[in-house]
A and B are shown apart, each in its own frame.
Chain A
């Protein structure tokens, strides 16, 4: 019977200041994503306007 090796010790909790950079990077990425979503929504509205002009 093989014995399971002991689990590695849990890593010490990361200092709160260490999470700062990662959180900011994620937040900035999210906000950039919103700019793309805004463009997407404007495109949908533009399509409706075109449809209204062509078939309205």
Chain B
């Protein structure tokens, strides 16, 4: 069968980003899972707050207007 290789990962850039802890500095190169999880939660909470607002009328109306294109008498 044809083997599916994962696309050649460009690890060099990643390494550069994560391996920047210097000797003796307590700061970990990688954020702890807990920190990542908390940041992720906040990001999603902020994002979902907007998503939960649904589709504002202006967009429904816009599509109706385009769609109507004369066939319907609705505004």
**A and B bind:** no
